[in-house]
Structure formats: C-alpha cells, structure tokens
Amino acid sequence: MKIETILFDLDGTLIDTNELIIASFTHTVEKYGDRPYTREEIMDFIGPPLTDSLKKVNVDNVEEMIATYRKHNYENHEKYVTAFPTVVETIKTLKDKGFQLGIVTTKLTDTAKLGLKITGMDQLFDVLIGLDDVEHAKPHPEPILKAIELLKANPMTTIMVGDNYHDIEAGHNAGVQTAGVAWTIKGRKTLEAHDPNYMLEKMSDLLEIVGVK
C-alpha cells in the first residue's frame, strides 16, 4: 500500500542536536552528579525521555536537573543545531508532492519548534506532537496514534522515521511502517536489531521508498 503520511522523530533524525544534547547533559551532571560521567555514558542518555535519563544521575533532584538541562539546551540551540545532509530538500520535495508530514518527538513542543525554525523547516509540517502533548512517550504508540488521528491518516499508509529504537518500537506498536537512519549516534546495528522496514543511508533515500522519482 502506497505511503501517504510520513512521521519523523526530530533530534538525531532531521536535525543534528547530538553535541547540544551532550553539552546540556554534561552541564547538568557536572552540577548534580556524584561523580564525573564519560562521554560514552552521557551518549546513553540520548533518546529516552529526559526524566528517565536524569533519574540515573540523581533521583532526588530530577525536577531541578530537568530545569537546568532545558535552560542550557534552549539557550544554546543557535550555537549547535543544524539539519542533517539532504534533510531540508527532501522534506520540501515531500511537501510539494502532497505527502502529510508530522513530527513525533520526546522534546517539549516549544523547543522542537525552535529547532525547526533554526533549520528553516518550521512551515513544512502539518502536525507536531511533543512530550507535553501526550501521557506516554515513545516507545508507547500514543504519540504516533495521536499524530495519525490529527492528520486523519491511515496507519496502513503511514511510516515512522527515527534514529532511536524508541522510534522503531513505537512504530511497531502503532501498526505503521518504520525506517531507521544509518547516521544514528547509537550505531545502525542498534536500530537494525529492532527490525525497521527500511534503513536510510541518507534522508533522500526516503523519496524512492515512497515512490517519488
């Protein structure tokens, strides 16, 4: 069945916020952690909801840590954030061809909008589902199902594109097709272990998958 609706994770999929996220986690754990954390340890925090990651650092100060992280992250977006190669032109092409496009992210909506604005993609998506729009974050299917509901889309003609196993599992749980991205900071084997329907070497690979010549 032909794809009509394409949902994207944001960080690590469309926009490169890896160094920003690492910097924000580093800033936070230096202030609240009981020991130094290595870059490898901090990279493991990328993907899950912020609360889940920061609980591993200091369970007693989670709300303070979240506020510290978000302040640093928001204030430093312009310094770090860029779109991955071929992303902007691919999204514009898909928009021009009439596909329904959505963002499904574990970021707060306002911060997600900031990343889209910096990279010039803030007018290209029909719906944005942020962490503050749902009860349950990915890999729960709720964020994807909410996007589908708002778009009046068909799960059978929908694909979820992401860089983290949470994205692939959420797609499976919601009954949509899935695509992993080979540029994930987690390493492509991590995604392949969760059986995405497709693996993109670059975002423009998506055009062929959805039938755009």
Domain ranges of the chain: 5-16+82-209, 18-79
Going by C-beta distance under 8 Å and a sequence separation of 6 or more, which residues neighbour residue 164?
9, 12, 46, 47, 184, 186, 191
Helix/strand/coil for 156: helix
128 pLDDT more than 80: yes
Longest distance between any two alpha carbons in the chain, whole Å: 54
- Type of residue found at 186: K
Q: What global pTM score does this model have?
A: 0.91
Give the model's pLDDT for residue 49.
84
Give the model's pLDDT for residue 67.
97
Q: Which of 9, 11, 163, 167 is catalytic?
A: 9
**Residue for token digits 């469309």?**
14
Give the model's pLDDT for residue 69.
96
Task: Tell me the CATH number of domain 5-16+82-209, given options 3.30.565.10, 3.40.50.300, 2.40.30.110, 3.40.50.1000.
Answer: 3.40.50.1000
Give the model's pLDDT for residue 54.
94
Q: Is 122 among the residues known to form the active site?
A: no
Structure tokens at 127: 């719906």
Q: Are 73 and 15 in contact (CB under 8 A)?
A: no
Task: Tell me the CATH number of domain 18-79, given options 3.30.450, 1.10.150, 1.20.120, 1.10.10.
Answer: 1.10.150
